[in-house]
Amino acid sequence: MTERKQGRRCALAAEETKHQIITVAAQMFCELGYERVSLRNISEKAGVSHSLIRHHFGSKENIWYSISDSLHEYMLAYMKHILQEMPQGLAANTTLYLFITRMQAHMLIRKEPIQFIADAVRQAGELLDYFIDSVGEIEAVVYKLEADYNRDFPETPIRIDEIKWQSIMSAHAAASLTPFMKETWANETTCESQCLLNHWQIFNQSMVRKLHIAPQDELKPTSLNEIVYEVECKMNCNRKSDLSE
């Protein structure tokens, strides 16, 4: 019995160590880029030995793959959570609108996913191919929303890929060109969270027009945190950026 307990404790400790490594590595890849991060860098910041990282993952590339898998798992769970939280019986355009704009709010205040995606694009080769090849379930969710909308609004059909591209551009601009975003509203506020809300409103109004959303169905948050859910993430995606400045 004692050996079993010790075995469970060892297994739990190993999982906690792997989680710590993945969390630290994800933050470093997002902030510095894959190429500028070494296993030794990860070892030092995570507070674990270089040999232990190699024992659990074998290579930096395998850590990246684990993070990519965790990110896809999290994003799919987040998408499903948004849909689960919606009232029953909504029109297809309202469902699509709420889904897209809530996802956009999440991408704006939790920058790690879009930063990770952008770095994957810079790497090209096998890393990018792996990331793109893993999006099947996520695409199934959004294409179902597209099909429902186009069925009910055949006179104004939409292409979800175009909306997805608009969303990616908006989120990446806010994450990578933050000083320019803050300068845009410098005469109104010095608060980054308010700038992000203003930035989201541009995207929101575009979706309102495109999807024919009635005024009473529009989201009108005073803070993006009001429309972002807390969903468990293995790589600490729910860690909010410091938006106090």
pLDDT in tens, 30-39: 999 999 999 9
**Whole-prediction pTM value?**
0.85
Q: How far, in Å, CA of 91 to CA of 81, rounded?
A: 18
Residue 241, pLDDT > 50, answer no
Range list of β-strands (E), 7-156: none
Dig out the tokens for 11 from the structure: 């297994």
Question: What average pLDDT does the segment 143-147 reach?
Answer: 95
Where do runs of H (alpha helix) occur along 33-177? 39-46, 50-57, 60-85, 92-109, 112-123, 125-133, 136-152, 160-176
Say which residue the tokens 């320019």 belong to: 180
- Phi, psi of 238, deg, nearest 5: -80, 0
Domain boundaries, the chain: 1-58, 64-244
Residue 16, pLDDT > 80, answer yes
Decide which of 21 and 237 is more confident. 21
pLDDT for 228 equals 96
* Terminal-residue alpha carbon distance, the chain: 54
pLDDT for 212 equals 97
Amino acid identity at 19: H
CATH of the structural domain 1-58, one choice from 3.30.460.80, 3.10.129.10, 1.10.10.60, 3.30.565.10:
1.10.10.60
Rounded (5°) CA angle 29-231-176? 35
From the number of C-beta atoms within 10 Å of its C-beta (0-12, 13-18, 19+), residue 195 rates as: buried
